[in-house]
Amino acid sequence: MAIKTFKPYTQSRRKMTVSCYSDITKNQPEKSLTKIKKQTGGRNNTGHVTVRFRGGAHKRFYRLIDFKRNKYNISAKVIAIEYDPNRSCRILLLQYSDGEKRYIMQPLGVKVGDLLMSGPNVEVKIGNSLPIKNIPIGTFIHNIEILIGKGGQLVRSAGTVAQLLSKETKYAHVRMPSGEIRLINLNCYATIGQVGNIDHGNVVFGSAGRMRHLGRKSHIRGTAMNAVDHPHGGGRGKSKGNNQPRSPWNQPAKGFKTRKRKNFNWVVVSSRCNKGRK
């Protein structure tokens, strides 16, 4: 995926880059596969801000993505590549042989006209979805299920990829994009290949206004706030009062363990921090 640059006729344009949308083949989404996405502005049902620095995003429709890939042994033809404002990768519009249409994430290298399938005995090729027990060791995969039949939940961002390292009696060892090695049930489904739009991480937004268009407000420093709003706020001059880095709710921000659910730690064979089992 190419990256487009601009002449520096303004300061914000000097370093700003955008993705090249030459791979997009369809501008309007499939109406039957969209639904209204309500904006929250980071607020809950009582109006209180529960997620800070959100709001003001452009109006958008949510595309219904098929993460389960549960139409087994039915061939589907890629009829369009579309832009999805709700995720970093491109999406494919599939038309199955029985006439049904569905969206999936675009694997790297899949183009219009390709035939894709899902099922336990389909061919191991890019874009096909199989149980992990039928995928050869060393294969690169994405859209990995955690719970059988729930649909892919892991490795779904643009350019990410996991690798199947080994198989045991019930579980497989899968190396995540972070470097973590995790146990995945052999009956869980995964899609062959790497998620497309690999240059997404190289895009430079260049201006705060462009970030606001995506719904991201500027992140205010705690030292710039009043004492009533943040533990680092207040004082005379630029100072945080000799406090350790803390959140607005006075929770230590560095080195303080917050994880409570320890019943899933056993699935982590090797952590991303290379410190062994957590």
What pLDDT is attached to residue 1?
62
Q: Which two tokens stand for residue 179?
A: 């470097």
Q: Which fold has domain 20-42+55-201?
A: SH3 type barrels. (2.30.30)
| pLDDT tens profile 121-162 | 999 999 999 999 999 999 999 999 999 999 999 999 999 999
93-107: burial string, b at 16+ Cβ within 10 Å, e else: bbbeeeeeebbbbbb
Integer Cα distance of 92 and 162 in angstroms: 20
Band (245; pLDDT cuts 50, 70, 90):
very high
What digits encode the pLDDT tens for the residues 219-243? 999 999 999 999 999 988 888 878 8
pLDDT exceeds cutoff 60 at 278: no
Residue 134 half-sphere exposure, CB side, CA atoms within 13 Å? 18
Task: Note the pLDDT tens digit of each residue in 43-94.
Answer: 999 999 999 999 999 999 999 999 999 999 999 999 999 999 999 999 999 9
What pLDDT is attached to residue 275?
56
For residue 29, give both structure tokens: 């989404």
Residue 213 phi/psi, 5° resolution?
Answer: -60, -30
